[in-house]
Amino acid sequence: MTTLTDNLLLERIGQGDAASFEAAFHQHYDRVYGLLFRLVGNRAEAEDLAQEVFLQLYNHAFRKKLFARNREHNVSAWLYRVATNMGYNAIRGRQRRWQRNTVLVPDPQGSPAAEKEVEQQEMKTAVRTALAQLKPRQVQLLLMRQMAFSYAECAAACDVAPGSVGTLLVRAAKAFREAYEAEGIED
Partner 1 sequence: MTQQEKEIRNALNQLSILEPTAAEAPHPAGQMLARVRQEIDRQEEDRLITRFGRFMMNNNRRYATVTLLLVLLFGAAFSFPAVRTAASDFLGMFRVQKFAAISISPEQIAILQRVAEEGLTPGELEIIEEPGELVPVESLAAAQAQTGLTNTRTLPGLGAPAEIWVADGGNGRLTVDLAGARAIVAATGADPLLLPDSLDGAQVDVTVFAGIQQQWADGTMLMQTASPVVEYPDDVDPTVLGEALLQVLGLNEDEAYRLARSIDWTSTVLLPIPQDFASFNEVTVDGVSGLVLNSLSGEGSASFWQKDGVVYLLLGPGMGTEDLVSLAGTLR
User: Of residues 53-72, which lie at the interface with partner 1 (CB under 8 A)?
Assistant: 54-56, 58-60, 63, 66-68
Give the shortest CB-81-to-partner 1 separation in angstroms.
6
Secondary structure of 56-97 in the HEC alphabet?
HHHHHHHHHHHHCCCCCCCHHHHHHHHHHHHHHHHHHHHHHH
Sole binder of partner 1 in the list 1, 19, 30, 99 (CB under 8 A): 30
Output the smallest distance, CB 169 to partner 1, in A: 5
Kindly tell me which residue out of 25, 65, 160, 183 binds partner 1, with binding defined by CB under 8 A: 25
Contacting residue, 5, 15, 51, 102, with partner 1 by CB under 8 A = 51
Cβ atoms of 155 and 161 closer than 8 Å: yes
Closest CA to 135 of 107, 174, 100: 174
Measured CA to CA, the distance from residue 34 to residue 172 in angstroms comes to 20
What single DSSP character describes residue 5?
-
Is 73 among the residues that bind partner 1 (CB under 8 A)? no
CB of 41 to partner 1, least distance (A): 7
Give me the least distance between CB of 84 and partner 1, in Å please: 8
Query: Dihedral of the CA atoms 77, 126, 117, 50 (nearest 10)?
Result: -20
Q: Residue 53 in contact with residue 32, Cβ under 8 Å?
A: yes
Please tell me whether residue 12 binds partner 1 under the rule CB under 8 A: no
Contacting residue, 9, 75, 91, 127, with partner 1 by CB under 8 A: 127
List of residues 6+ apart from 26 with CB closer than 8 A:
none
- Beta-carbon contacts of residue 15 (< 8 Å; ≥ 6 apart): 65
Q: Which residues bind partner 1 (CB under 8 A)?
A: 18, 22, 25-26, 29-30, 33-34, 37-39, 41, 43, 46-47, 50-51, 54-56, 58-60, 63, 66-68, 78, 81-82, 85-86, 89, 92-93, 96-97, 120, 123-124, 127-128, 136, 142-143, 145-146, 166, 169-170, 172-174, 176-177, 180, 187
